[in-house]
């Protein structure tokens, strides 16, 4: 497996799951010398809209807009159009072929990431929703379709990354949430199910890891970032 040439300070995408632009700015002030990539999700985007994205990009950092667009294709197409020309690096879309196709048609300079299966889901959730196969099979099926439609990559847990890389190659991005530290750090109300360490995610083929609570809830957030970056280096060398 050939790892992509990505700066270490961009391998961790820090999840700005906070309630205001002011709180987001405090985290960027703290981590900005260590992390150059930030995720804006539903909570922060709905609170602040595009000004928070401008605040991040004007400071020279990259942004992943994680809104998981899922709607009729024309609506998704118009939503992606609103993201263009704002220096946004990644945007996430969650849907069937027509939805993904609509997003790809409008992406321009944005990389579209298809969400495969949320990392909070376990096998029992698949059964409740009526899926007869395994999560890994569903992730693989959705990833393969997304890439054929022109998506630039996928969001998947590190548990499925190995199969995706081995079967689908190195020519696409894998962004992996559900990351937990190699050392024991307690996470409050942890709703993630399919979790791995940063080292294992990268070793399995992920290009980026999305990390929020393990850093935000740490006594020394910078130390956790540095520890995870060390794990990532080990994963790259494996």
**Residue 57: burial class (beta carbons within 10 Å; 0-12, 13-18, 19+):** middle
Distance of CA 132 to the CA centre of its chain: 26
- In angstroms, rounded to a whole number, what is the distance separating the alpha carbons of residues 61 and 40? 12
Candidate list 4, 19, 26, 68, residue with the active-site label: 68
List, as own/partner pairs, every contact residues 155-158 make where C-beta atoms lie below 8 angstroms and the sequence separation is at least 24, other chains included.
155/92, 155/113, 155/114, 155/115, 155/116, 156/116, 156/117, 157/117, 157/119, 157/194, 157/195, 157/196, 158/194, 158/195, 158/196, 158/197, 158/200, 158/201, 158/204, 158/206, 158/209
- In angstroms, rounded to a whole number, what is the distance separating the alpha carbons of residues 227 and 224? 5
Backbone φ and ψ of 85, nearest 5°: 60, 30
Alpha carbon separation from 204 to 29, 211, 230, 232 (Å, rounded): 31, 17, 16, 11
- In angstroms, rounded to a whole number, what is the distance separating the alpha carbons of residues 153 and 102? 15
> Is 183 a residue of the active site?
no
List active site positions: 68
């Amino acid at each position: 497996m050939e790892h992509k040439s990505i700066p270490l300070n961009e391998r961790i995408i820090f999840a700005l799951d906070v309630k205001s632009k002011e709180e987001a700015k405090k985290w960027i002030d703290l981590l900005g010398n260590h992390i150059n990539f930030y995720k804006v999700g539903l909570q922060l985007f709905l609170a602040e809209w595009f000004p928070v994205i401008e605040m991040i990009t004007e400071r020279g950092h990259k942004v992943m807009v994680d809104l998981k667009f899922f709607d009729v294709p024309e609506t998704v197409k118009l939503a992606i159009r609103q993201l263009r020309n704002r220096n946004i690096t990644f945007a996430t879309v969650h849907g069937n072929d027509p939805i993904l196709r609509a997003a790809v048609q409008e992406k321009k300079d944005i990389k579209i990431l298809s969400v495969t299966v949320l990392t909070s889901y376990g096998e029992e959730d698949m059964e409740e929703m009526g899926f007869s196969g395994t999560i890994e099979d569903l992730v693989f099926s959705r990833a393969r379709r997304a890439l054929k439609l022109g998506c630039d990559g996928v969001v998947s847990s590190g548990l499925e990354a190995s199969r995706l890389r081995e079967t689908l190659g190195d020519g696409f991005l894998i962004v992996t949430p559900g990351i937990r530290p190699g050392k024991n750090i307690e996470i409050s109300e942890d709703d993630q199910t399919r979790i791995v360490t940063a080292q294992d995610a990268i070793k399995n083929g992920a290009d980026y890891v999305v990390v929020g609570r393990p850093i935000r809830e740490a006594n020394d957030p910078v130390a956790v970032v540095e520890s995870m970056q060390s794990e990532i280096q080990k994963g790259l060398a494996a």
